[in-house]
Structure 1
């Protein structure tokens, strides 16, 4: 019978939290039996979302929270930060720019993603990744 598993972490709004998030996500997914490209993709997505939260949303004024849940090969990662501004727009970066490609990268790698805002409670940016990319699980509530 499939298990419903969760993992959470609270991170400081500091650049070192990106490395902490990557390591935590990789370790947790590996302990759940995930491996290879799917783990790498989720780690990259987590890196992008936590970087966005630390650089754009917190800026010395809050914490970042991670929530990872997995059920039968369907994984959902949520990154919470204290601001309400939406990160779901794409930018056209300059050719050699080091930023501006993150949300497009998340769109390409994730099965699904979105954002949920709550007045006075910041926002949760979430992504879903399937262990088997050919699978079509039922939709999860955002």
Structure 2
């Protein structure tokens, strides 16, 4: 099972991404196996990073959800080949810049892989909580 939805590359679309992910997880009954708040925070961070940092030239940003064995895989695709790097030099007074560190703390595993078309897929795998 994989669910892919295209979203406009705008920060205000993150609410729509969260809404779709919530409804998809509830529809599939997955909200009983995975912490919904964790999934929503991870997908929000990955999508927001694609909007803010990727060169998408206004192209829609695909978000995919897939159940792989016992993990929920979240993927955000974008046409920019630049792989993300967590910011390890954090200003304690800053109000942003910790997104990938949050993703890393909530995901069983996360990463980014180049796509054959020159873009990338940034993914996070969420383990069930029970």
Q: Normalization by structure 1: what TM-score?
A: 0.81
CA distance in 2: counterparts of 1:82 and 1:113, whole angstroms: 19
Q: Secondary structure at the match of 2:31?
A: coil
**Is residue 2:35 matched to residue 1:7?**
no
Higher RCO, 1 vs 2 (CA within 8 Å, ≥6 residues apart): 2
Give the unaligned 5+ runs of structure 1.
Answer: 134-142
Structure 1's consecutive aligned runs of 4 or more residues displaced over 3 angstroms after TM superposition are 58-61
CA distance in 1: counterparts of 2:76 and 2:87, whole angstroms: 18
Query: Does structure 2 conserve the Cα–Cα contact (< 8 Å) formed by 1:91 and 1:100?
Result: no
2:80 to 80, 83, 89: 83
Deviation at 1:54, TM superposition (A): 0.5
Q: Secondary structure at the match of 2:21?
A: helix
Structure having the higher Rg: 1
Query: Does structure 1 conserve the Cα–Cα contact (< 8 Å) formed by 2:87 and 2:97?
Result: yes
**Is residue 2:28 matched to residue 1:32?**
yes
CA distance in 2: counterparts of 1:31 and 1:71, whole angstroms: 17
Q: What is the correspondence of 1:101-140 to structure 2 with a 5 Å cutoff?
A: 101-132=98-129
Compare 47-56 and 59-68 and name the one that shifted more: 59-68
CA distance in 1: counterparts of 2:6 and 2:56, whole angstroms: 16
Q: What is the correspondence of 1:51-70 to structure 2 with a 5 Å cutoff?
A: 51-58=48-55, 60-70=57-67
Give the unaligned 5+ runs of structure 2.
Answer: none
Deviation at 1:24, TM superposition (A): 0.9
Equivalenced residues, count: 129
Deviation at 1:59, TM superposition (A): 6.0
Q: Secondary structure at the match of 1:108?
A: helix
Q: Normalization by structure 2: what TM-score?
A: 0.88
CA distance in 1: counterparts of 2:68 and 2:81, whole angstroms: 29
Q: Secondary structure at the match of 1:35?
A: helix
